[in-house]
């Protein structure tokens, strides 16, 4: 299913109103079941749903490799994905308690976030990255970001190595990252020499997602938050922001950039 559709609207310009067709980003609910238990409904763009589900499980610490999934059934049009886990580093009960508390006001979300951060091991990578190549990757991703150009309402993320390996677009920036991570896991890619590229803000949650996937470098045309920078220092992640026109700022672990 496409990430966007066409709808009629009335456009005001130069003291006139006219009816036109415009391209609008689609918003799609995806419900994920694990071991026959409803886990979450993600509001997302309707492409790459399999990758999104796998990336979400990695980002939430429920799996570490694709082999942790014993079976997966995707009902794309219905917006349903049923997954059976062969094994998991954390229990579903712990996951559900954490999300109920953070989403429904039964506890402090910050407490669960801190516990998440403590459960994550830092990334080990000795790979060095060429600054010029990083800038070229950002330019390439922005050039190929068709959904944003058409709708103005879609985020983009990509995985870089020797080239741009995979790109995803989604109305949610976290979803766009999860799709990249899910693709990487399904494709069994080695990630300690790869780059996570973003169109949006680098938040602490994005740093945790990259760490759980084992990606040592995050680069965005936008800014990082202070907590993202502090976590990146602790978890051995290089954060780069404001990557535009051949320039960028390095906020953590600059020793990786040559």
Closest CA to 72 of 220, 182, 228: 182
How does residue 2 score in pLDDT terms, banded at 50, 70 and 90? confident
Average pLDDT, integer, range 206-231:
96
pLDDT tops 80 at residue 94: no
Say whether 44 is catalytic. no
Q: How confident is the model at residue 258 (pLDDT cuts 50, 70, 90)?
A: very high
Domains of the chain: 28-119 (3.10.20.10), 131-256 (3.40.140.10)
Q: Which two tokens stand for residue 88?
A: 């998991």
For the chain, what is the mean pLDDT?
89
* pTM score: 0.89
Tens digits of residue pLDDT in 164-199: 999 999 999 999 999 999 999 999 999 999 999 999
**Token reading at 91:** 């229990």
Query: What gap in Å lies between CA 44 and CA 154, rounded to an integer?
Result: 10
Q: In the prediction, which pLDDT does 95 show?
A: 61
CA-closest candidate to residue 218, choices 245, 246, 253, 167: 253
Least confident of 20-24, 92-96, 202-206: 92-96
How is residue 138 written in tokens? Answer: 């950002």
How buried is 93 (Cβ within 10 angstroms: 0-12 exposed, 13-18 middle, 19+ buried)?
A: exposed
Catalytic residue among 44, 103, 104, 156: 104
Segment 79-108 shows an average pLDDT of 61
Q: Over 60: is that where the pLDDT of 108 sits? A: no
Structure confidence at residue 91 as a pLDDT band (50, 70, 90): low
Lowest mean pLDDT among 52-61, 103-112, 143-152: 103-112
Is the pLDDT higher at 200 or at 100?
Answer: 200
Average pLDDT over residues 222-235: 96
Token output for 23:
């391209």
Nearest residue to 223 via CA among 193, 246, 203, 247? 203
């Amino acid at each position: 299913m496409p990430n966007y559709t066409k709808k009629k609207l009335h456009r005001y310009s130069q003291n006139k109103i006219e009816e036109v067709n415009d391209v609008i980003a689609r918003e799609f609910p995806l419900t994920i079941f694990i071991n026959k238990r409803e886990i979450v409904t993600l509001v997302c763009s309707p492409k790459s749903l399999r990758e999104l589900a796998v990336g979400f499980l990695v980002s939430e610490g429920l799996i570490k490799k694709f082999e942790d999934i014993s079976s997966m059934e995707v009902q794309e049009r219905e917006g349903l994905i049923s997954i059976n886990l062969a094994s998991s580093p954390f229990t579903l009960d712990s996951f559900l308690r954490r999300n109920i508390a953070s989403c429904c006001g039964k506890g402090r979300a910050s407490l669960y976030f801190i516990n998440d951060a403590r459960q994550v091991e830092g990334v080990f990578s000795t790979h060095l990255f060429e600054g010029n190549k990083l800038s070229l990757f950002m330019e390439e991703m922005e050039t190929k970001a068709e959904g944003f150009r058409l709708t103005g309402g879609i985020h983009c993320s990509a995985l870089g190595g020797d080239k741009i390996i995979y790109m995803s677009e989604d109305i949610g920036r976290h979803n766009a990252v999860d799709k990249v991570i899910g693709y990487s896991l399904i494709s069994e890619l080695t990630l300690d020499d790869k780059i996570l590229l973003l169109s949006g803000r680098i938040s602490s949650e994005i740093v945790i997602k990259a760490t759980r996937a084992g990606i040592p470098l995050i680069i965005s045309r936008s800014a990082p938050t202070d907590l993202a920078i502090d976590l990146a220092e602790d978890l051995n992640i290089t954060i780069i922001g404001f990557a535009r026109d051949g320039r960028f700022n390095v906020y953590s672990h600059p020793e990786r950039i040559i």
